[in-house]
Amino acid sequence: MASRAKATIFDIAREAGVSKSTVSLVLQGSGLIRPETAVKVRKAIEDVGYVYNRGAANLRKAHSNVIGMVINDLTNPFFAELAVGMERVFQSAGIVPFIANTAENPVRQEEVLKSLMEQGVAGLIVSPARGTTPGAFRRLETAGVPVVFAMRRLPESRIPVIAPDNHRGAYLATAHLIGKGHRRLVFFGGTSDLVVYQERLGGFREACETLGIAARDTLVVQGETSRRGGIACLETALAMAEPPTAALCFNDAVAFGVMLALRKRGLEPGTDFAVVGFDDVVEAEHYMPALTSVSVDTAGLGERAAHVMLKMIQSRTTRAEDHIGAVNLVVRESCGPNRSADLGMGDAA
């Protein structure tokens, strides 16, 4: 049963009474072989318990069928959703993507990338770790391995990017806050070394400017892009002389942290302080209060990224168009009712 050494096509060739070439042809589903022969060979494969050696095959073939997905934070459910979208399309292409985690660590990322290259990946979908050096993907480029960035990008890179429209998302969210009557706004979380941060902050600022909020009434508090970061941001903001009344958060995790911190201080998110998140992860809808957030169709972006990747591999190119995904604001409960009344603008006192 458990044969000593592992079976090769030679073993199954002997078993089936054909040549190794025939076996190879069958393995590849070539139409050149007689159906009865194919059946015979397939039976032998089953009997012997043969397992295909893709490494050996790749030695001869131009391309492997391995696609790697390099993710900066596996514990953020956001990326799990992204992965799910990608898997959907790769599955129908008969590809199993391998996921590797860099834990937001550029050194670890370097190792992961190296390992994946040595493995001979056909392509890579990457959400780069914070602090990635410009040259980190040089090696991939010179090796001609297709790479696409998902969600995040590097400042000056030529690598195609699949990401949501961060600027517009932030603009929409901010406009919503202003529409609710808020006049002192803050942007919570994130740090300026992230391009995404620049984009979201840019949308926030443009909305404030366009909709008549004075620059001195807009605040920015940087911080970790996690629940913990959100808690810290809120503390900082409330300690100010003239604290804000509404926050756009870098992402949902930060928003959850902010809501938590509000509650701890006896303030009610929504009524006492408005908060909106970004990404619209599944938890957003289930929170108390449900979080108003910018929905980015994460799984859809994952699908898109996978499609782009497939096309790049097929056409043996390393370049592709960027793709900016549509966003829309999902209004729930975390911004409460309109504030216009408080400001003496309503007709009912």
Binding site for DNA (CB under 7 A): 5-6, 8-10, 18-22, 24-25, 27-28, 32-34, 37, 50-53, 56-57, 59-61
Interaction mask 33-72, its own copies, x per CB under 8 A = ----------------x-xxxxxx-xx----x-x-x----
**Which of its own copies, DNA, none does residue 240 bind to, with CB < 5 to 8 Å depending on kind?**
none
Mapping DSSP onto H, E and C, the string for 186-252 reads: EEECECCCCHHHHHHHHHHHHHHHHCCCCHHHEEEECECCCHHHHHHHHHHHHCCCCCCCEEEECCH
CB of 118 to its own copies, least distance (A): 4
* Side chain identity at residue 141, one-letter code: E
Between residue 143 and residue 202, which ones bind its own copies under the rule CB under 8 A? 143-144
Pick 10 or 98: Cβ nearer DNA: 10
Interaction mask 71-110, its own copies, x per CB under 8 A = ---xx-x--xx-xx--x---x----xxxxxx-x----x--
Q: Which token pair is 263?
A: 């509650």
**Which of its own copies, DNA, none does residue 98 bind to, with CB < 5 to 8 Å depending on kind?**
its own copies
State the DSSP code for 327.
-
Q: By CB under 8 A, tell whether 134 contacts its own copies.
A: no
Pick 22 or 109: Cβ nearer DNA: 22
Pick 113 or 177: Cβ nearer its own copies: 113
Distance, in Å, from the CA atom of 244 to the CA atom of 249, rounded to the nearest integer, reads: 13
Distance, in Å, from the CA atom of 330 to the CA atom of 349, rounded to the nearest integer, reads: 30
What stretch of H or E contains 27? helix 20-27
Length of the chain: 349
**Which of DNA, its own copies, none does residue 25 bind to, with CB < 5 to 8 Å depending on kind?**
DNA
Distance, in Å, from the CA atom of 55 to the CA atom of 95, rounded to the nearest integer, reads: 15
φ, ψ of residue 35 to 5 degrees: the values are: -50, -45
CB of 309 to its own copies, least distance (A): 17
Pick 118 or 156: Cβ nearer DNA: 118
CB of 257 to its own copies, least distance (A): 8
SS3 180: coil
CB of 60 to DNA, least distance (A): 3
- Residues with Cβ within 8 Å of 62's Cβ and at least 6 positions away in sequence, in order, are none
Angle between helices 9-16 and 20-27 (to 10 degrees): 110
Tell me the Cα Rg of the chain: 26
Place of tokens 């756009």: 248
**Segment interacting with its own copies, rule: CB under 8 A, options 1-9, 183-191, 202-210, 324-332:** 1-9
| Interface residue list for its own copies (CB under 8 A) | 1-2, 6, 49, 51-56, 58-59, 64, 66, 68, 74-75, 77, 80-81, 83-84, 87, 91, 96-101, 103, 108, 111-112, 115-120, 139, 141-144, 227, 256, 260, 263, 282-283, 286, 288
